Amino acid sequence: MRSQSYWSHHRLAIALTIPVVLAIALALGLYVSRSAEAHHKPGHGQGNGGTTPTTCNKGEFLAEYRNELRTFNTQPVLTRCETTINNDWGSGSPGSGANTDSFTARWVGTFDFEASDYEFTATADDGVRLWVDGQLLIDQWKDQGATTYKATKTMTAGAHEVKVEYYEYGGLAVAKASWAKVTSSLSPSDTDPVLVGAGDIARCSSSGAEATARLLDGISGTVYTTGDNAYESGTATEFANCYNPTWGRHKSRTRPSVGNHEYGTAGASGYFGYFGAAAGEPSKGYYSYNLGEWHVISLNSMCENVGGCGSTSPMVDWLKQDLAANPRACTVAYFHHPLFSSGEHGNDTKMRPTWDALYSANADVVLNGHDHDYERFAPQSPSGAADTARGIREFVVGTGGGSHYGIVNVQPNSQVRNTDTYGVLKLALHPTSYEWKFVPEAGKTFTDSGTTNCH
């Protein structure tokens, strides 16, 4: 049996030892923690086997990969910082833990830009979306082979957020996104004419027409309109009180087209009375003229009021003869109702015979209104098939100032859409090509620009 003195000394030794052991353990733990921190810097982890970054440096994307199709509801299985989006994974996986098929990816980053127009490009197999500062510029969320899309935006100097989302359904996987300054200033030479305008313009209760008229104040060239010039019914009074104080400042250089609202007045008499000979014969409302090396055609898409819209109607017969008599290298036509539109009114098939005639004559551009938004399509055939060789590029430019409409059903070959910006579309008509630029109202940043050769 141990003495009481023995146990007293033993308890004292244990009491003195415990703090020493705890100190050693704490020191070891701190070393391990700092060692791990040294090997895994926050923001640069590689998913499985490393830390998971929550932020990345300016000039980098925070990339998140999820094993789900088309949605972003689950936690990422792979997160890392990436400096570019330039991926051609083929039939492989983006990285450890990620599927080879049925996955999504999201990239978000902050990047410095100069004050300039920038063209944003995205290539994807399958779906892709691209935002800049929360504005959706490219929206192609669908199953597809590797396809490239472009959109243009005016950027202010400084830091801006770019976000890209992508999904892979199956087969080959491609996800790429980039941007570059637009070098063209759209400044034509002295011999290259400019065609500038919009449709769906003047409503006395709206300041939109004045906003777009001020744009025309600073742009030389021929002004076109794509119909619905004066709301609500195109009366002589509405032209005098709503259109004339705004776009009427440029009446002497305007070559208009008529819309459905003008026919709210019998025979569109307010329209034809205001524009006079510049609008064509009141019984027709269609005419043509030349600008440089371009043949320009203004048509009446209220063709049911002037003999019909079919392939043998007076207007389409005249169009075929006019195109045959003017075999210029480049042709643009404008009228109110679009054959293709993602907006509230949608596609208007009554204009298919008109498109057939234009397509047969290798026309290059069609300008429309009716839907109160901006939309650019890739070159396509009258049936809506993509056609880079002979297709017509359509622009819906219902942005003259009347009001805004939303997007209802995105159509095939639609490349760029905007629903909240009034503005005008400016075309520089070169001898064998054209440049376009959407010029936004003051205070807005959306724009779209590019160039294409004539057929």
- CATH number of the domain that residue 371 is part of: 3.60.21.10
CA–CA separation, 438 vs 302, rounded Å? 26
Closest CA to 383 of 401, 356, 348, 420: 356
Q: Indicate the SS3 state at residue 294.
A: strand
Question: Is residue 8 a part of any domain in this protein?
Answer: no
Instruction: Please indicate, yes or no, whether residues 129 and 241 belong to a single structural domain of this protein.
Output: no
Residue 64 tokens read as 């998140």
User: Per the structure, how many domains does the chain have?
Assistant: 2
Closest CA to 333 of 247, 235, 257: 257
Residue 232: asked if its preceding bond is cis (omega within 30°), the reply is: yes
Residue 299 tokens read as 């048509």
Question: Is residue 21 a part of any domain in this protein?
Answer: no
Instruction: Please indicate, yes or no, whether residues 170 and 207 belong to a single structural domain of this protein.
Output: no
Could you give phi then psi for residue 437, rounded to 5 degrees? -150, 125
Question: Is residue 56 a part of any domain in this protein?
Answer: no
pLDDT tens track of the chain, all 455 residues? Answer: 444 444 444 444 444 444 444 444 444 443 333 333 333 333 344 444 457 888 999 999 999 999 999 999 999 999 999 999 999 999 999 999 999 999 999 999 999 999 888 989 999 999 999 999 998 989 999 999 998 888 888 889 999 999 999 999 999 999 999 999 876 544 545 579 999 999 999 999 999 999 999 999 999 999 999 999 999 999 999 999 999 999 999 999 999 999 999 999 999 999 999 999 999 999 999 999 999 999 999 999 999 999 999 999 999 999 999 999 998 899 999 999 999 999 999 999 999 999 999 999 999 999 999 999 999 999 999 999 999 999 999 999 999 999 999 999 999 999 999 999 999 999 999 999 999 999 999 998 899 999 999 99
Instruction: Please indicate, yes or no, whether residues 393 and 419 belong to a single structural domain of this protein.
Output: yes
CA–CA separation, 70 vs 196, rounded Å? 40
Q: Which run of H or of E encompasses 16?
A: helix 4-39
Instruction: Please indicate, yes or no, whether residues 267 and 374 belong to a single structural domain of this protein.
Output: yes
Question: Is residue 7 a part of any domain in this protein?
Answer: no
CA–CA separation, 233 vs 268, rounded Å? 9
CB under 8 Å to 30, separation ≥6 — which residues? none
HSE toward the beta carbon, residue 362, CA cutoff 13 A: 12
CA–CA separation, 398 vs 367, rounded Å? 10
CB under 8 Å to 396, separation ≥6 — which residues? 338, 341, 343, 368, 369, 370, 371, 373, 374, 375
CATH number for the domain that contains residue 101: 2.60.120.260
Instruction: Please indicate, yes or no, whether residues 326 and 242 belong to a single structural domain of this protein.
Output: yes
Residue 237 backbone class (left: φ over 0; alpha: ψ -120 to 50; beta: rest): alpha
Question: Is residue 1 a part of any domain in this protein?
Answer: no
Instruction: Please indicate, yes or no, whether residues 385 and 277 belong to a single structural domain of this protein.
Output: yes
Residue 284: per-residue pLDDT:
98
Instruction: Please indicate, yes or no, whether residues 257 and 364 belong to a single structural domain of this protein.
Output: yes
Q: Could you list the residue range(s) of the whole structural domain that residue 116 is in?
A: 61-181
The residue type found at 365 is V
Residue 2: per-residue pLDDT:
44
Closest CA to 418 of 337, 333, 343: 343
Instruction: Please indicate, yes or no, whether residues 67 and 151 belong to a single structural domain of this protein.
Output: yes
